[in-house]
Amino acid sequence: MMKTSLYITLLFGLSATHLYAKPPQQKPTPKATLEVQKSAALPAHLTTRLAWRKFPQPKYKNEDLNQQNRAAIVRIYADETGKISQATIQESTGLKKLDDALLQAVRTAEIQPTYVEDTAVPTIGFQSFNLRFQDNQHEDCQFDFQSKQWLAQQQQQKVQFKYRSQPQLNLSAEDLKNHSRKLKFQFKVNKHGEVKRVKLTQGSGQYALDQQVLAAVKAAQVDVPRQFWLYKKSKLKDEIYFDLNTCDAQEQS
């Protein structure tokens, strides 16, 4: 009888120990640990040409330039996802109000993430800004996204693909540096119509202008006919022309 009681007590003790034992902590997988170690070990990527996902759009008026052209260089630090975490003035416009406007615009912008050995790393880069004082009739002339495909789409013409909505773009004659500009580009989309890769095939001659257009395309969504995927597995192409002469037409109207 004593042996039986001892056996039952032992079983109860083992069950209680199992019931109240602290559950084992789940360790991170070796792959996740390795990725964190690799990202932490790799230094920030330094570049003088940033690839923008969302280009800075500084807000200022022509009179803020105080009757002359202004230029500045902003030093930018972005994290692994492309979000701007730090922005400082490397070379000033000479006007604090303008410098602050540039910094505010940069902090709300985003760059394309940088990868080293298939691992996303922080990016340190520099972006120059050239703000031209407008003393002519083109001061208030604005340009939006009026590409060849978009115009054909609006005219109900047969097109290779359709933008779901007009890509967001707001340029001035100042951005064109008082010259008409033309760009050609091609891009790929996934099955959801999201733009995944954009390549410039003909630049405008103005790097900042090119980056603003590419950023607008990257944020766009398109619809592609099913037969295009079946028989024409190539890149989508488009082009856009900014005609400064349209500013003169606007002034006369």
Do 98 and 111 have their domain in common? yes
> Can you tell me the distance from the alpha carbon of 16 to that of 53, in angstroms, rounded to the nearest whole number?
58
Same domain, 113 and 169: no
Look up the CATH number of the domain holding residue 112. Answer: 3.30.1150.10
Question: Quick one: 198 and 125 in the same domain?
Answer: no
Q: Which domain holds residue 91?
A: 33-133
Whether the CB-CB separation of 76 and 108 falls below 8 Å is answered with no
pLDDT of the residue at 137 = 52
Does residue 230 sit within a domain? yes
pLDDT at 16: 45
As a whole number of angstroms, the distance between CA 231 and CA 219 comes to 26
Last residue of one domain, picked from the residues 103, 133, 163: 133
pLDDT of 8 strictly over 50? no
Query: Do 76 and 186 lie in a common domain?
Result: no
Q: Are residues 204 and 141 in the same domain?
A: yes
Q: Are residues 158 and 108 in the same domain?
A: no
Q: What's the pTM?
A: 0.56
- Residue 122 to residue 91: CA distance in whole angstroms: 22
Yes or no: say if 242 and 203 are a contact pair by the CB < 8 Å rule: no
In this structure, the dihedral spanned by the alpha carbons of residues 197, 150, 131 and 75, taken in order and rounded to 10 degrees, is -20
Instruction: Please say if the pLDDT value at position 170 is more than 50.
Output: yes
Same domain for 168 and 184? Answer: yes
Mark whether 188 and 119 lie in a shared domain. no
Instruction: Let me know whether 144 and 37 are in one domain.
Output: no
Q: Are residues 150 and 201 in the same domain?
A: yes
pLDDT band at 2 (very low <50, low <70, confident <90, very high): very low
User: Given pLDDT bands bounded at 50, 70 and 90, which one contains residue 117?
Assistant: confident
CATH of the domain at 222: 3.30.1150
Q: Are residues 253 and 140 in the same domain?
A: yes
Q: Is residue 200 part of a domain?
A: yes
Q: Is the same domain home to 55 and 124? A: yes
pLDDT, greater one: 125 or 175: 125
CA 64, CA 60: separation in Å to the nearest integer?
6
The HSE-up count of residue 72 (CA atoms within 13 Å, CB side) is 24
